[in-house]
Amino acid sequence: MNNWLFWAIPEKFVFKYLFTLWVAMFIIPQYFFGLQFTKFGFILNLLWYDLIFYGWVRIKQQLGDDE
């Protein structure tokens, strides 16, 4: 968990990170469910998204599939 606090997105995943962040934080909630996040909800979901993406990148790196 401590590594997650100081991690940087690898360069090859920056576009995927930003695109899926935009979809997860704006497109899906607003256009599919008609919702908008509160400030606290936005921060909480941003942290959740970043933690999930970090786990995904770490698994890809451990499996050697990060090509």
pLDDT digits (tens, 9 = 90+) for 14-67: 999 999 999 999 998 888 988 888 999 999 999 999 999 999 998 988 888 765
Burial string for 25-53 (b: 16+ CB within 10 Å, else e) reads eeeebeeeeeeeeeeeeeeeeeeeebeeb
Average pLDDT over residues 4-23: 91
pTM score of the predicted model? 0.81
Q: Determine the straight-line distance between the first and last CA of the chain, rounded to whole angstroms.
A: 25
Q: Residue 43 has what pLDDT?
A: 94
